[in-house]
Structure 1
Amino acid sequence: MLRLRPIFPALSLLVLAAPAHAQSGPAGFQSPSKNIACQYFDYDKQNVLRCDIAAIKTRPRRPADCDLDYGQAFEMNARGPAARICHGDTVMDKSLPVLAYDEVWQRGGFTCKSEPTGVTCFNTDRRGFSLARAKQEVF
């Protein structure tokens, strides 16, 4: 019988000692159609909300300074303006809970509402975005 011995026994103790209240997955939600997903991040006490939309009718022109994907990702801080961003990743995650139509999600200064026509999110300054397959708008 082959016996395996951990290479880093102290590391395995750290994993076992993780607090029971640790978050088990990403904070955020996805729309019932699963076409829109939003995730909340706390970067050193700087709250950020990012939402991605998988399918859109018309993709905007990519800016010259963007060498990655453009047109389907939006981001904002808890204060200040929202923006469409240049990105090389996605926050689309099938493990995110579904935010049912006409339900509201709130966290860290952000409010989002899911509707049959899409998702609208805004921050404490009432700046944000509305995302739908037919049209995306930053306000």
Structure 2
Amino acid sequence: MFRWRPILFALPLFMLAAPAHTQSAPAGFQSPSKNIACQYFDYDKQNILRCDIAAMETKPRRPADCDLDYGGAFEMNAKGPATRLCHGDTVMDKALPVLAYGEVWQRGGFTCKSEQAGITCFNADRRGFSLARVRQEVF
């Protein structure tokens, strides 16, 4: 004889509570103009911040040893100097939240400030970059 058991009702509740396999949102932000995007990465406990700028009034000359894109991507570790990258990819992502003008973003030893003139980011050593359509500077 079949007996109804309450445990059968627990299965659907358990299935609802199970975590879905979704991709987490990238850690970072984009400028209100959406011309600059920055993403934070933690590779083997080494924090990295990369920022890309889509439109620039002038692009620097590509080095002879770079066969990819050059001029619009910048990267730094939590300590040490920042650098302009030779790159074949981008961190531009429409899913990134907007960092409004006047707001500050901090994570993993990095600080970035959004202003109408552009985005400035620096690390624990106060090294970094300022990115704007008219000028990009590594300091």
TM-score range normalised by the length of the shorter chain: 0.7 to 0.9
1:92 aligns with 2:61: no
Equivalent-residue separation in structure 2 for 1:105 and 1:137 (angstroms): 19
TM-score, scaled to structure 2: 0.84
Moved over 2 A (4+): 16-20
Amino acid at match of 2:62: R
Aligned to 2:74: 74
Aligned to 2:128: 128
Aligned to 1:28: 28
Over 3 Å counting, the alpha-carbon distance change for 1:103 and 1:87 in structure 2 is same
1:58 aligns with 2:58: yes
RMSD of aligned alpha carbons: 1.8
Q: Secondary structure at the residue paired with 2:41?
A: strand
Equivalent-residue separation in structure 2 for 1:134 and 1:17 (angstroms): 49
1:44 aligns with 2:44: yes
Equivalent-residue separation in structure 1 for 2:91 and 2:38 (angstroms): 7
Q: 1:96-134 CA distances to partner (integer Å, 9 max, x unpaired)?
A: 000000000000000000000000000000000000000
Q: Secondary structure at the residue paired with 1:96?
A: coil
Equivalent-residue separation in structure 2 for 1:17 and 1:67 (angstroms): 46
Aligned to 2:113: 113
1:104 aligns with 2:104: yes
Equivalent-residue separation in structure 1 for 2:68 and 2:46 (angstroms): 24
Using the TM superposition, give the Cα deviation of residue 24 of structure 1 relative to its aligned residue in structure 2, in angstroms. Answer: 1.9
Over 3 Å counting, the alpha-carbon distance change for 1:47 and 1:59 in structure 2 is same
Using the TM superposition, give the Cα deviation of residue 66 of structure 1 relative to its aligned residue in structure 2, in angstroms. Answer: 0.4
Using the TM superposition, give the Cα deviation of residue 19 of structure 1 relative to its aligned residue in structure 2, in angstroms. Answer: 8.3
Equivalent-residue separation in structure 1 for 2:50 and 2:29 (angstroms): 11
Amino acid at match of 2:65: D
Identity %: 82
Using the TM superposition, give the Cα deviation of residue 56 of structure 1 relative to its aligned residue in structure 2, in angstroms. Answer: 0.2
Q: Secondary structure at the residue paired with 1:42?
A: strand
Aligned length: 123
Amino acid at match of 2:52: D
Equivalent-residue separation in structure 2 for 1:18 and 1:30 (angstroms): 29
Mark the structure with the bigger radius of gyration: 2
* Runs of 5+ consecutive residues of structure 1 not aligned to the other structure: 1-15
